[in-house]
Structure 1
């Protein structure tokens, strides 16, 4: 049985699907979480060094994923994380004060030591469309297992971000199997905009793509001041 978001592969059953998924149930630093109680502190700036990348967009059966060309990275507190890919969930997996946003992009980065750093960019649906999302959706495959490589279309992940770079920071996990822990999560507090029509284009393909929030287990969530 392959993992999924409902039925026999639903999140509460992930740990029993494969031995390597056991931490989905036994882990104490699982993601996503509800971000409610936070500690205001002086978090390091996220230094962005993104370059444009040729578009390679795939439908993996769980979400739409955009693979990124090598060379783009962030630096956080002196540590470099290279951007590998970004993908989407709807509604957002992390909630803020118990409320989810309409969609989220997870930008997955990896440091030289193997540690992952993931930035969450929330999206709020309304009347205003998002030019970058429109460009991505124009080329997204509707069939599972298909990748569309469009080398003449260059994208820059920086275009997904809101103007406000305030972020929440905590130690968590992947939100999909194998639910590996030790992920440096940076969830932006302010959302970007998408249109209701753009949201529906995604949810028509993936009506459910969200793991429920997990126990905090005493972890501290920091927010930049």
Structure 2
């Protein structure tokens, strides 16, 4: 294991916290372009084979949806981020115990938040400037990820704080600014699209309940540009929906 890989493991690396496959996936270098880009992820190692052969891969282009009486997202985030890390793939904030999401009878805890540019999910063929992923984990190991689409416009104080304090180079996690409130990165309305999918990075495990909010948030152009200096493109292309229904809350 080289220094780069070791740093990723120490930082909580990649975008798959708490997955049992994480260590295996992290031993194989992957990226967003070239010979280790998304088209090649399934060939990296046995643990990442699902990236190529899976039938419920994410992200997707959200087109036609089915309106449904979905459970409200009961978000209870009272604890601020513990650490922030540049893990070589994105900027990620890691959270302590105490932040929860209730989805019907299922309870999850917020593990981490990270960002993609441009958005990974598309809506009716359109992508957005960025996308935030709030990764929650249940005791069973299942994940529920809230996706928040981001558009340029009015500044968002929380995102401004993140871009102002994010590490400029890959390395170990450092203490996060306590002023960063994850709740401030949510829109006022929590209507959402829901579908079964996967992690959007190796090993692409199909263990994710996707909850993509229908209302985007606006963030400053300058803050998008700061993130883009580090990661001009870190989004997996849209995958086949394979006739999966996408439900939309009423």
For the aligned pair, the TM-score class normalised by the smaller chain equals: over 0.9
Large movers: runs of 4+ above 6 Å: none
CA distance in 1 between counterparts of 2:204 and 2:51 reads 5
| TM-score normalised to structure 2 length | 0.87
The answer as to 2:246 corresponding to 1:221 is yes
Q: What 5-or-longer segments of structure 1 have no aligned partner?
A: none
**SS class of match (1:53):** coil
Q: Which runs of structure 2 are paired with 1:124-143 in the superposition (5 Å)? A: 124-126=151-153, 128-143=154-169
Quick check: which one's strand share is greater?
1
Q: Deviations over 1:153-204 (max 9, x none)?
A: 2433111000111100000000000000021000001100101111010111
Structure with the larger RCO, 1 or 2 (CA within 8 Å, 6+ apart): 1
Q: What 5-or-longer segments of structure 2 have no aligned partner?
A: 1-27
2:62 aligned partner: 35
Deviates more, 1:205-214 or 1:45-54: 45-54
Q: Which runs of structure 2 are paired with 1:43-62 in the superposition (5 Å)? A: 43-62=70-89
- 1:92–1:101 CA contact under 8 A, matched in 2: yes
- 1:54–1:154 CA contact under 8 A, matched in 2: no
Structural RMSD (CA): 1.1
- 1:49–1:72 CA contact under 8 A, matched in 2: yes
Deviation at residue 54 of structure 1 after TM alignment: 4.3
Q: Which runs of structure 2 are paired with 1:1-225 in the superposition (5 Å)? A: 2-126=29-153, 128-150=154-176, 153-225=178-250
Matched pairs, number: 223
| TM-score normalised to structure 1 length | 0.96
